[in-house]
């Protein structure tokens, strides 16, 4: 059984190498690409100020975070929740970079970026040249993100889970689940071939008056009128 954790973070800024820290983690569990309803969410006191740019994105203030637990306090429960699961992250290098910086401070094992599914890379391959941020993908796939007035880790993880299902073709997986993928593709191809082979009879929309007027026009041109071919008539042999 494939267990995946769709994950998102919010941070104090854009560079963990410059000392920015994680302030929120949101996770959604999926089994075999189906959300289980289990989630993990926590706000974290970063022990440093939130930058104005980051605050404009997520709205999490220093005052709000002041009484929240520090990362070291929640590290064990977080790692227990994600244990043995494959991480699914939009722009995975960003979030994993921040999480690994936090895990290094607490002495916990770090994540391997190569083991994560990066939905941003998936979207870029599937839609080259198009906007592939989360809002753009929601618009493309008809996913309601009207609640997303500010970035929030848990809400973004929930939305990303829906986007991920679309990126892997989840809504198209089998109307008949008893068929294997190859059989489903063969059945679909056969159905298309049968549909295309059906005769398509075009019904004339000419009235009797219009047909009579056109016939009179053809007669005025003479017996060699090319219009007779389009009406399915045989041109008279030249005498």
Which member of 16, 58, 90, 151 is catalytic?
A: 151
Q: Any catalytic annotation for residue 127? A: no
In angstroms, rounded to a whole number, what is the distance separating the alpha carbons of residues 52 and 129? 31
C-beta atoms surrounding 5 within 10 Å? 23
Phi and psi torsions of 182, nearest 5°: -65, -40
In angstroms, rounded to a whole number, what is the distance separating the alpha carbons of residues 153 and 41? 8
In angstroms, rounded to a whole number, what is the distance separating the alpha carbons of residues 97 and 47? 18
60 and 43 Cβ atoms separated by less than 8 Å: yes
Residue by residue, DSSP assigns 143-191 as: ---TT-SS--HHHHHHHHHHHHHHHTTGGGS-SSTTS-HHHHHHHHHHH
Q: Give the residue numbers marked as catalytic.
A: 151
């Amino acid at each position: 059984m494939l267990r995946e954790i769709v994950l998102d973070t919010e941070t104090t800024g854009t560079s963990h190498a410059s000392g920015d820290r994680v302030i929120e983690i949101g996770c959604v569990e999926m089994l075999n690409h189906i959300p289980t309803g289990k989630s993990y969410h926590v706000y974290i006191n970063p022990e440093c100020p939130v930058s104005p740019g980051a605050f404009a994105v997520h709205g999490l203030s220093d005052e709000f975070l002041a009484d929240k637990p520090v990362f070291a306090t929640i590290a064990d429960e977080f790692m227990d929740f994600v244990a043995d699961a494959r991480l699914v992250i939009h722009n995975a290098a960003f979030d994993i970079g921040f999480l690994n910086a936090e895990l290094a401070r607490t002495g916990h094992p770090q994540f391997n970026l190569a083991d994560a599914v990066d939905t941003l890379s998936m979207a870029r391959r599937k839609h080259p040249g198009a906007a592939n941020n989360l809002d753009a993908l929601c618009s493309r796939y008809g996913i309601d993100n009207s609640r997303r007035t500010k970035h929030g880790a848990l809400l973004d993880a929930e939305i990303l889970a829906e986007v991920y299902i679309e990126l892997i073709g989840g809504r198209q997986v089998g109307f008949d689940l008893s068929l294997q993928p190859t059989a489903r593709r063969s059945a679909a191809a056969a159905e298309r071939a049968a549909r295309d082979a059906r005769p398509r009879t075009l019904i004339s929309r000419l009235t009797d008056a219009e047909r009579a007027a056109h016939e009179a026009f053809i007669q005025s041109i003479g017996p060699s009128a090319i219009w007779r071919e389009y009406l399915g008539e045989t041109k008279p042999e030249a005498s």
